[in-house]
Amino acid sequence: MRTKIKLTVLAFFSAVVLISCSDEYLEVEPRGTSLEANYYRNQQEAYAGLVAAYDPVGWIGGNYVAKEFALNVASDDFYAGGGNSQDVPAIQAWSNYTVDPAVGPQEELWRKGFSGVYRANVLLSKLPDTNMDEQLKERYVAEMKFLRAYYYFDLIRLFYEVPLFTKPLGADEINNAQQVERAAVYAQIEQDLMEAIPNLPTSLDLATEAGRATQGAAKALLGKVYLNQEKFGQAAEQFQDVNGTPGETSQYGYRLLDNFGDLFENENQFNSESIFEVVHTSASNWGDWGCIGCTEGNFLNQMSAPRGYSINESGRGAPDFIAGWGFNVPTQRLVDAFIAQDGTYDQRYKHTISNIDSLAGLGVVSYEESYQGTGYFLKKFAGTQDDRHTGAGNYEGNWPQNFYDIRLADTYLLEAEALVRGGGDMNRAQALLNAVRTRSGNAPVTVNFDNILRERRLELAGEGHRWFDLQRAGLAPTYLEFKGYVREKHDKLPIPLLDLTNTLLEQDPAYQ
């Protein structure tokens, strides 16, 4: 994660205290092992480890795989798109459900998760002997437990069974690691978050700490963990602490923005609706074609903009997009979901999707059709001319738009789901759903699971939640059948082929 902190990424990588962005989780001898024993002696060195542990939150793999991008194309809301059926094969494979242990996004998502776990474990093991302020040390410990829980929650949702590491391991120990029962991973996630919450801050100094974990973020994550296990009462309790009274400012200062479209303006980062935000910057000097994974920018901005895009007639409402790569193509199914029974479009549509094909038909713009093109593009994240980077790296990888990992409308709707499915306070569930709909200019609808899922689809389109929502609701086999989804196989990703070599890890039988 690109936290707003005064230590640059270069500093902690130069110190070689942890594995580099190109190291694999099962590497035999991680770079910097010889220096690690002498590091973390003081607060400055511990801070370097803190930054390193956050960094994988926003990683983009060298093969263009980012978590949100991959999850979008795996859902019924987006196709992979791009130039052709072989453009970024890892993404294409999940979009059309031809993923296998050798081809798919699993290698990058596995590496991202376990690199984060490793880095959090290293700092947790070193902090007891670090010479620094004890209160600050407690906060660092809490942040590392939050991050370990965060990484493991992604891993357990993406892969059916994974090994569980709570301390740094040597090469031999890692190679001999085995998967554990899912319940054990969930129990560790819950424990980490409950231990972290008391020592996390309730707010941040946005000038120096933006992007770091807070009590609100940890409670929101714990609510998601409980909901995923159908512990509805416990989930609702955590979400209620985060959400407060629907439509009002919560104890942590969270409040829905008045205007939905303001959420996606770059100058509106870390607003009152943001609970945990993935930080990007356009000022990076790192991201270039020699190291795609080194970028500090948001690659989704480049991926989502139309291919060969140009404006032929100004002043006729054409978006100021750059010429991008035409990935992340919205499906007609998503577009249709925005249309009400009276034929009008939900107000969120205009902030979420651009119909470039209709503008091209009028001669206003020109563009090259994407593979699986529908003529629609994800406006939320398509790069614009105004947002071009200021650093020395290639602009394609250096876009400044942050990404909401958790935001308040998300937790409102998840609390409503927990209340409905758990037989909780239906009046509160209705108020939570109403608050999200009212903000977008919609009349109330009866609160039930179907309406909550529909609301989440429209509110959070393109933000990487839909695939998880379908899995949690048990609807993925039905809603994703048109893409080739196979029941009891594609509800998870395979263990990456390379990570099965010379280890005791076992592939899911569905992928053998």
Residue pLDDT, tens place only, 2-60: 444 432 332 233 233 333 333 333 333 344 444 667 789 999 999 999 999 999 999 88
Asked, for residue 49, whether it belongs to a domain, the answer is yes
174 and 319, same domain (yes or no): no
Asked, for residue 461, whether it belongs to a domain, the answer is no
308 and 193, same domain (yes or no): no
Which pLDDT score, from 0 to 100, does residue 27 have?
34
352 and 501, same domain (yes or no): no
Which pLDDT score, from 0 to 100, does residue 19 have?
36
Which domain does 93 fall in, by range? 1-204+486-512
Whether the per-residue pLDDT at 287 is higher than 70: the answer is no
Domain count, the chain: 2
43 versus 287: the higher-pLDDT residue is: 43
The mean per-residue pLDDT over the stretch 258-283 comes to 91
126 and 26, same domain (yes or no): yes
Which pLDDT score, from 0 to 100, does residue 285 have?
59
* d(C-alpha 331, C-alpha 224), whole Å: 27
Asked, for residue 424, whether it belongs to a domain, the answer is no
| CATH code, domain carrying 187 | 1.25.40.890
| Whole-number CA gyration radius for the chain | 22
Q: What angle do CA 217, 194, 273 make, to 5 degrees?
A: 10
The mean per-residue pLDDT over the stretch 463-487 comes to 98
Which pLDDT score, from 0 to 100, does residue 401 have?
82
Indicate the DSSP class of residue 327: E
Contacts 24+ apart (CB under 8 A), 507-510: 507/101, 508/160, 508/161, 510/486
186 and 334, same domain (yes or no): no
Domain boundary among 401, 434, 455: 401
Which pLDDT score, from 0 to 100, does residue 60 have?
84
Tell me the torsion sign for CA atoms 113, 404, 381, 375: positive
- Extract the tokens encoding 372: 């699986």
The DSSP bridge pattern shows strands 307-311 and 365-368 to be antiparallel
Domain boundary among 371, 401, 431: 401
The mean predicted confidence, pLDDT, of the chain is: 90
Structure confidence by residue, pLDDT tens digits, 196-252: 999 999 999 999 999 999 999 999 999 999 999 999 999 999 999 999 999 999 999
Which pLDDT score, from 0 to 100, does residue 279 have?
86
508 and 385, same domain (yes or no): no
Which pLDDT score, from 0 to 100, does residue 282 have?
72
Asked, for residue 420, whether it belongs to a domain, the answer is no
294 versus 384: the higher-pLDDT residue is: 384
Asked, for residue 30, whether it belongs to a domain, the answer is yes
Model confidence at 257, in pLDDT bands (50, 70, 90)? very high
- Extract the tokens encoding 241: 């602490």
Structure confidence by residue, pLDDT tens digits, 309-330: 999 999 999 999 999 999 999 9
Spatial CB neighbours of 408, under 8 Å, sequence gap ≥ 6: 242, 243, 250, 254, 255, 256, 272, 273, 274, 275
Asked, for residue 120, whether it belongs to a domain, the answer is yes
19 and 118, same domain (yes or no): yes
Asked, for residue 263, whether it belongs to a domain, the answer is no
Domain boundary among 401, 420, 441: 401
22 and 134, same domain (yes or no): yes
Q: What angle do CA 16, 22, 23 make, to 5 degrees?
A: 70
Asked, for residue 423, whether it belongs to a domain, the answer is no
